[in-house]
Amino acid sequence: MSPTRWRNLCVVLGAVCIAQLWNDCRRDRDPLAIPDCSRTAPVSQPARSGAGSDRSAPHHDEPPPAAETAPGDDRTSDGLTVPPWALWFTPHPGEDLRTYRDRMLPVALAAIAPQRARVVRSRDSFATLAKLDARQRAELDGAAQDTSAALQERVMGAVLDGEVSPATWKPMAGVDLAHDLLEIVLRGNRRFLDSLDREQRARLAQHPFDFGDYLVFATPWEDALKLFD
């Protein structure tokens, strides 16, 4: 897998984590404070000309000097300027895939850690509310593990078979791959639901726990990176 795909994976994962964190914080967030406009500093008025000044001459405001940007501080692509801090997350010149992985993996794990803790708390909360027995708890974790294994196998197969090769890429190839991945997730979710009785399913509908959410964050996807050692 190319460094570009690893970069895209990190960006997507970071966006999902930020969205989940924002959604959690929004529930208990205090209303935004309304700024007090009365305390705003008044806009300074231009100084009037003295008695001896030439009032007939038109006044021209000089444009502010353009901000100087040091060369190499950012990159511009298709009219979009990438801030310098964001460049740290991209592969550096001369950096191979293994070095890039070792540099980005601790960052990714730190970003996903709060979400992993959240889905585990949600799972335990639902298990207590629905009174899941040991067999049902094992079925939930087993469904998640088997689903993640099937997802990784399908993705690796697509890479090895050239389905996602840029040289032969077609939109319908991506549609077929997405369809297969969604079907795998749906089978895992059905396996989990089949282990619940009617009352437990009703309680699940009222609880924030979600199999897909649990699958995404509880699965140790980083173990698949050991294939590149």
**What is the per-residue DSSP string for 187-214?**
HHHHHHHHTS-HHHHHHHHTSS--HHHH
Evaluate whether residue 7 is within a structural domain: yes
The secondary structure of residue 36, as a DSSP letter, is -
Give the integer Cα–Cα distance in Å for 111 and 18: 9
Query: How far is Cα 153 from Cα 149, in angstroms, rounded to an integer?
Result: 6
| pLDDT for residue 211 | 97
Determine contact, residues 101/228, Cβ cutoff 8 Å: yes
64 part of a folded domain: no
pTM over 0.85: no
Dist CA 194 CA 136 (whole Å): 10
Q: Identify whether 30 is part of a domain.
A: no
Reading the chain (229 residues) residue by residue, the pLDDT tens digits are 454 555 555 555 666 666 666 666 555 444 444 444 445 445 444 445 444 444 554 555 555 554 444 444 455 555 667 777 777 778 888 888 788 878 888 888 898 999 999 999 999 999 999 999 999 999 999 999 999 999 999 998 988 888 888 888 888 988 999 999 999 999 999 999 999 999 999 999 999 999 999 999 999 888 876 655 5
Residues 121-133: pLDDT tens digits? 999 999 999 999 9
Domain membership of residue 114 as a residue range: 3-21+84-228
Distances (CA, A) of 42 to 38, 39, 61, 138, 185: 9, 9, 20, 66, 59
**143 Cβ partners below 8 Å, 6+ apart?**
188, 189, 191, 192, 195, 211
Cα–Cα dist 100/87, whole Å: 13
Residue 128 one-letter amino acid: T
For residue 216, being part of any structural domain is answered with: yes
Residue range 141-182, pLDDT digits in tens: 999 999 999 999 999 898 888 888 888 888 898 899 999 999
Q: What is the pLDDT of residue 41?
A: 47
Q: Domain count of the chain? A: 1
Domain membership of residue 214 (yes or no) is yes
**Residue 123 lies inside a defined structural domain of this protein:** yes
For the chain, the straight-line distance linking the first and the last C-alpha, in angstroms and rounded, comes to 13
Write down the mean pLDDT value for the chain.
77
In a domain, 45, yes or no: no
In a domain? residue 42: no
- Under 8 Å between Cβ of 213 and 116: no
Token pair recorded at residue 12: 């997507």
119: closest CA among 217, 212, 42, 9? 217
